[in-house]
Amino acid sequence: MRNLFILILLFFSLHSFGRSYSQSLSYKFRVYLKDKGATTYTLDKPEQFLSKEAIERKKGQHVTIDKTDFPISADYFKLIEKAGGEVVSHSKWFSTVTVQVADSLAINGVLSLPFVDTVKYVWRGNEWKNSLQLRPRLGKSDCGQSVSSAHPFGLTVNQFVMHNADKLLLAGFQGKGIDVGVIDAGFTNFDVIPWFKTVDLQGFINFVPEGEMFATSDHGTKVLSTMAVNQPGLMMGSAPEAAYWLLRSEDVRSEFPVEEDYWVRAIEYADSLGLDLINTSLGYSEFDDKNLNYNSSDLTGEVSFMSRAANMAYEKGMLIVVSAGNEGNKPWQKTTPPGDAKNVLAVGAVGTDSLIASFSSHGLMEDGRIKPDLVSVGIGTVTIGEEGQIGYTNGTSLSSPFLAGLIASLWSVNPDMQRGELIDIIKRSSDRYLMPDSLYGNGIADFQKAYGEVLARLHVEDGSVEEQYFSVSRSSKNHFLISLTQPEFSYDDYELRLLDESGQLISTHTFEKEILQISVPRSSGKTAKFVHLLFKSPYQQKILRFPL
């Protein structure tokens, strides 16, 4: 019966898809397993199957490690390969293996395996032979552009001002200590564009069997630029000090559900790295084979493979930000999966005038939930593309990462904060929180308001403080003595910032020796009840809250 179902599905798919393809087609199927096979892993020894970073993040986010974290048995991969299926992706969370076969009938060999439950057709097309492409070696002279203003944020100043986020970043909170994953279609020329040299790149990996990471699409290049660029006076990303992983999951040649499989593999990998926050400016509702399309009735967060994985990723401890989609003035209109997932922040687009973009996806989900959740700048967003030139781009693909970066910068105030608590603070800061609607969702987040609440929740230090890299003592309520503890870098690589009760920068101090003395100006202490010290080193930052 299962074999008959697959053959019928392929007959109708091939018939409806047209005759434009040659006879040398390949096919990909998502194989659902009955189980993961025999394993020696145990939950009391998670270090055997999870990284130290992943375990620490789960612990910090109060996430329970369970059997969904167990890998699929290597024996299953070998048996599937012997049965004629080339493994191109897999998911341990959902016990699936994605395989490619040269003939659609060859999937029957895989389907006959005793541990296989069912299969789903997710792609067909011609194989793409990768070819190395000559790419430019760009220098700053190739990408030189004039400074637009004396403001540190340069061309991007209005984007920050709209969110009232300028004080947050100017105070020194720019994402340090937050690990961010960007799952996208490709990052053409990221590695040769000089404006990206300051990016703290932790690594990159391509989950698409075909195409090159840095030469297939510059969609991810533009997306990343809104977050990671650090060019004061010209362009500033919303989290320039965050650490980044670049993950490619989109096959730009065609639109098929197999790209969801690649995305699920990417988000699982992000989890294994212990990443904190994920931005993805990808979404799927229509495919080249119309029989595979989603319907609006599928927008429950429980139908799309990608949406289910996005929900799972949140449950595993990550904060997921996605673009709501550019369907607002198209027949679909609504948010595209995975934006329908319950636990993600789906982001719509507005201009810096705070008015909604006509293309921004909107509308109620099938179960009555409002999407988007929030909106950010997606009209004329400042970006850098494959040529290395700064320009302006429209789309929720840009509003999502800019907001994700602001969230990372806010989270860097207190990286120990629970992701749900942070989301709640951000939503409550938004201008439509009390009356959300299906165009703007909760509206535009006010990051100064959110920043103030995060600061207010910090532990109040009532005496001397001993940290890993420094210590603080007080000779009086307005005088602090900061001492470096076995400094590993030059003294001038360490910095101390004095912030007022609202988090606004009062003064910046660098170390000339191991001990630094600072005083709170009398004007700052007349009505304030608290003051903050922000310690920054090349690899670490820490804020302390003191009473006055």
> Per-residue pLDDT tens for 462-478?
889 999 899 999 988 88
Residue 17 pLDDT > 50, yes or no? no
pLDDT at 90: 98
Tokens of 426: 């951000």
pTM of the model: 0.93
Between vectors from CA 62 to CA 59 and to CA 64, what angle results, nearest 5°?
80
pLDDT at 14: 41
pLDDT at 477: 86
C-alpha closest to that of 240 among 202, 272, 199: 199
pLDDT at 246: 98
pLDDT at 523: 77
Give the mean pLDDT of 478-491: 93
Band of residue 522 on the pLDDT scale cut at 50, 70, 90? confident
541 has which bridge partners? Answer: 536
Residue 3 pLDDT > 90, yes or no? no
What is the rounded distance in angstroms from the CA atom of residue 425 to the CA atom of residue 430? 9
What is the rounded distance in angstroms from the CA atom of residue 503 to the CA atom of residue 485? 26
Residue 141 pLDDT > 50, yes or no? no
What is the rounded distance in angstroms from the CA atom of residue 532 to the CA atom of residue 364? 42
Residue 16 pLDDT > 80, yes or no? no
pLDDT at 9: 42
Supply φ then ψ for residue 269, to 5 degrees.
-65, -40
- Please report which helix (H) or strand (E) contains residue 16, including its range: helix 2-17
Q: At what angle do helices 396-411 and 219-228 cross, to 10 degrees?
A: 30
**DSSP letter (8 states) at residue 335:** P
Q: If DSSP states are collapsed to H, E and C, what string results for 215-232? A: CCCCHHHHHHHHHHCEEC
Residue 23 pLDDT > 60, yes or no? no
pLDDT at 203: 97
Residue 20 pLDDT > 50, yes or no? no
pLDDT at 463: 87
482 has which bridge partners? Answer: 472, 516
pLDDT at 13: 43
What is the rounded distance in angstroms from the CA atom of residue 76 to the CA atom of residue 80? 6
